[in-house]
Amino acid sequence: MALKITLKPFERIAIGSMTLTNGCEKDSTFTISGSAPVLRQANMMRAECADSCLKKAYLCLQNLYLEQGDATVDMYRLIAARVLRQMPHVKAEIQQAD
């Protein structure tokens, strides 16, 4: 089943290791077929913004999902352990992501 998505002017979407940018000055609709992870710009985190353990965990999961960078499950588990030490109240969310 194809995914139909509308991007605002200059909005980006990650499709696996590729990035699709709407270069038009108006909304554009795209149909994506195939099997690849998709992440909208609004949900993407840039590496320079990962300034806390929780954000680093999110960035690691994002990279695992998009198969980008050198992120590994072991790396995520190390970061998640740090998050749990600093923020024990997020245990349920960490377990759900794991």
pTM listed for this prediction? 0.80
Same domain as 88, residue 60:
yes
8 Å CB contact between 50 and 75:
no
Q: Could you give the number of structural domains in the chain?
A: 2
Same domain as 31, residue 78:
no
Same domain as 73, residue 90:
yes
> What pLDDT score was predicted for residue 55?
94
CA distances from 63 to 1, 14, 15, 34 (A): 24, 11, 12, 20
Interval 66-89: pLDDT, tens: 988 888 999 999 999 999 999 999
Higher pLDDT, 87 or 97: 87
Same domain as 88, residue 50:
yes
Same domain as 90, residue 76:
yes
Same domain as 61, residue 34:
no
Interval 2-54: pLDDT, tens: 889 999 999 999 998 889 999 999 999 999 998 889 999 999 999 999 999 99
Domain that includes residue 62, residue range: 45-98
SS3 91: helix
